[in-house]
């Protein structure tokens, strides 16, 4: 399956607004957007900085890099997952859902696609 195909799997999740796959520096590799008001390149780069700060902060307390960040707001949910800083392909996935979105299904879908994406990129 293509990288686009993996990301498009998230389109069917209830509340889906946007999703993307980016390298660990925040550069968007592929994306899918249902809500045209979201500038996913800017949003992803911004949240990627937060995610990388969480990687660093985890290390400062003696833990390994962050695997997942979930940000909940009254209007929606942002989920970010990391394939692993030491994996063959260190990439970040982001999914944006509305406030009624199915966070559990989005996370399960993202967790399943992570290893497949690493295999394809490695």
DSSP 76-122: EEEEEEE--TTSSS-EEEEEEEETT--HHHHHHHHHHHHHHHHHHH-
**For each of the chain's 122 residues, which pLDDT tens digit applies?**
688 888 999 999 999 999 999 998 889 999 999 999 999 999 999 998 998 898 889 989 999 888 999 999 999 999 999 998 788 888 999 999 999 999 999 999 999 999 999 888 88
User: Containing domain of residue 8, as a range?
Assistant: 3-121
Domain total for the chain? 1
CATH code of the domain containing 105: 3.30.450.30
Q: What is the pTM of this model?
A: 0.91
């Amino acid at each position: 399956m293509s990288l686009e195909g993996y990301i498009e799997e998230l389109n069917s999740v209830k509340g889906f607004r946007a999703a993307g796959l980016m390298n660990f520096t925040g550069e968007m590799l592929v994306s899918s957007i249902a809500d045209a008001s979201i500038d996913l390149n800017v949003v992803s780069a911004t949240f990627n900085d937060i995610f990388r700060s969480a990687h660093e902060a985890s290390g400062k307390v003696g833990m390994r890099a962050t695997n997942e960040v979930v940000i909940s707001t009254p209007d929606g949910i942002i989920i970010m997952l990391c394939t692993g800083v030491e994996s063959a392909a260190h990439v970040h996935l982001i999914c944006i859902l509305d406030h009624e979105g199915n966070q559990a299904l989005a996370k399960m879908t993202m967790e399943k696609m992570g290893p497949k994406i690493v295999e394809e990129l490695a």
